[in-house]
Amino acid sequence: MNLRYLALVVALSGCAPRVAPLKGEPTPARALPAVPMATGHHKISFRWDYEENSLLTHGEGAIRTSSPDSARVDLFLVGGIFAGYAILVGDSLRGPNIDRIRRFLPPPAMLWAAIGRLAVPALPDTVVRVDGDTLQAEIGTPAAWRVTLHGSRIMQLVRLNGGRIAEAVTRDAGGRLLYEVPGRRKLWLGIIRDDEVPPFDATIWTR
């Protein structure tokens, strides 16, 4: 599902859209493949645009990652004004003024999906279907999550509520990301660079 299609579905429905049935053939695998974050240390530079009701803002940012489960997100408004930062370790998102910065960022599982790591809660009754090199899975009964993988790359992660999309991260063919809570807010991320770098100073995780 690309970004334009997802946005069209939301616009036409006026509320949280229902997900379509899974495509592809059932697979004997009852568990998802592991999708860890890139090994080592990376600095990901990006542009971002945020929309919530009448609020429209944008800027640039950086994500510093350290495998297996640590990341720091720094956001800057247009003009280079520092907006704040958040530290993501496991399923915890923290930092000074975290309530303010949390407004712009997805929650941990969605933020990890944007970075490229699958980190949803372990639930029984995973249904997996494969269509060529695309794998789709629904997790939980009733389904609480749906993930779409192209090879080992997360193309979409959806949190479901009663068969409807509560929130989603979608990656298009060009690598641009959209996080959306249907009818409420949207965050677009356009990756500029993804560089492997030397280990970070330990203070970036505490200050």
Strands 134-139 and 127-131 turn out to be: antiparallel
The pLDDT value recorded for residue 26 is 64
Q: What is the CATH number of domain 3-205?
A: 2.50.20
**pLDDT reading at 7 higher than 80:** no
Beta carbons of 49 and 188 less than 8 angstroms apart: yes
Percent of the chain past pLDDT 90, that is, above it, reads 57
Q: Which residue has the higher pLDDT, 44 or 173?
A: 44
pLDDT mean over 112-122: 92
The pLDDT value recorded for residue 50 is 96
Q: What is the C-alpha separation between 205 and 130, in angstroms, rounded?
A: 39
Domain limits of the chain?
3-205
The pLDDT value recorded for residue 27 is 66
pTM: 0.87
